[in-house]
Amino acid sequence: MHIDVDLQKVSVQQEGEIFDLSFDRLVFTAGSALFRPDLTGLHEYAFSTDTYRETAKLDQHIQRLPQITEQEGKYTAIIIGGGVTGIEVSTEVMERLKEIAQRENKASEARLIVEKALHDLYIEIRTNQTVRAIDSKGVTLETGERIASLTTIWSVGVKVSRLAACFPVKKDALGRLIVDPFLQVEGLPGIFAAGDTASAKTDDVHVSMMSCQHAIPQGKLAGHNVVCDLLGMKGIPYRQEEYVTCLDLGAWGALYTKGWERIPVSSGQEAKKIKQMINRMISPSEYKKRDDLFASSRPVEFRMN
């Protein structure tokens, strides 16, 4: 796939055939993908939760562990990456490993190693470590230490869609397109961006994060504003001053914070209910009818006071 800004066309490939789509206005929301550097064994042996298909592959692997003959690290999982996703994956995988290991009465052998997590979840923590190589039976660190594991999960952040390179404009440090208050790409009239591909001011100081929290309202506003641009009408400026974080911590519950300083507001099972509510909001499956889906896309619902 390729985007030609000057000729105002998008080249796409479908079933082996390449064809062009012309446009008068363009909304770029290609998102991001898991960052996978050139690390020995990463592509061949590491799992991830970047997509539904990859998550299903990881789940199938864990379900098959009891069928594997005794090996060191059979019920050990290594999570590489200590961000929000890495922490959430670690807490959920720990519970899954215990559940699967119990089939052989070996729940006590469940072991998980992650860069950053919570001590009281019985997860081993290794900080300031660099991975040298990954193979089918474990991980080797730069220090030379070897950790046996049949389950290695890569979770070290995301990168902007490669299609962002098609736009000949200045980008931020993450490679995102810089947009104005109406989500129009600066320097490219008629082209809008939203979500992980857009660098947008949420208020007078902060810039949007690469997360659904900012992507969902931006997507709604971008769709609204591009129509306004076509009709010669003024759109709605993007403003999202409230910032929250809800971190899922598996059986322990969750942690809910408010503000860019991430001040704790709720924790444990009370915060878990908030996290579950957020997850249901993200999924459009609750909208069974077209009219309900369109109604949910009204941008005024996301204007922050």
pLDDT at 82: 76
Query: For position 190, what pLDDT does the model report?
Result: 92
193: left (phi over 0), alpha (psi -120 to 50) or beta: beta
- pLDDT confidence of residue 300: 60
Range in 8-22, 134-148, 211-225, 273-287 with the lowest mean pLDDT: 273-287
Q: What is the pLDDT of residues 150-163, one digit of tens each?
A: 999 998 888 899 99
Q: What angle do CA 123, 126, 128 make, to 5 degrees?
A: 150
Report the mean per-residue pLDDT for the chain: 85
For 26, 49, 253, the CA distances from 30, given in Å and listed in that order, are 12, 18, 32
Asked if 29 and 163 count as a contact pair (C-beta separation under 8 A), the reply is no
**pLDDT tens, 163-204?**
999 999 999 988 999 999 999 999 999 999 999 999 999 999
Strand partners, 256: 246, 266
How much is the average pLDDT of 259-280?
88
Rounded to whole angstroms, how far apart are CA atoms 218 and 212? 9
Q: What is the pLDDT of residue 47?
A: 93
Stretch 215-236: mean pLDDT: 91
Q: Are 258 and 244 in contact (CB under 8 A)?
A: yes
What is the dihedral sign for C-alpha 186, 187, 189, 191? Answer: negative
Q: What is the pLDDT of residues 5-55, one digit of tens each?
A: 889 999 988 888 888 999 999 999 998 988 888 889 999 999 998 888 999
Domains, the chain, in order of start with CATH, read 34-154 (3.50.50.60)
Q: Which residues contact 104 (CB under 8 A, 6 or more apart)?
A: 66
State the pLDDT at residue 283.
Answer: 65
Per-residue confidence band for 60, with pLDDT thresholds at 50, 70 and 90: very high
**What confidence score (pLDDT) does residue 116 get?**
39
Average pLDDT over residues 209-229: 91
Residue 117 has pLDDT above 50, yes or no: no
What the block records as the tokens of 297 is: 């896309």
Q: Give the pair of three-digit tokens for residue 53.
A: 């298909």
125 within 8 A of 116, measured Cβ to Cβ: yes
Tell me what pLDDT residue 71 has: 83
Kindly tell me if the per-residue pLDDT of 305 is higher than 70. no
In what helix (H) or strand (E) does residue 19 lie, and over which residues does it extend? Answer: strand 17-22
| 104 vs 113: which has the higher pLDDT | 104
- Would you say the pTM of this structure is higher than 0.85? no
Q: How far is CA 295 from the centre of its chain?
A: 26
User: How much is the pLDDT for 91?
Assistant: 84
User: Is pLDDT above 70 for 268?
Assistant: yes
For 100-154, the DSSP string reads HHGGGT-GGG-EEEESS--GGGT-EE--S--EEEEETTEEEETTS-EEE-SEEEE
Find the helix packing angle between 52-64 and 84-101, rounded to 10°: 30
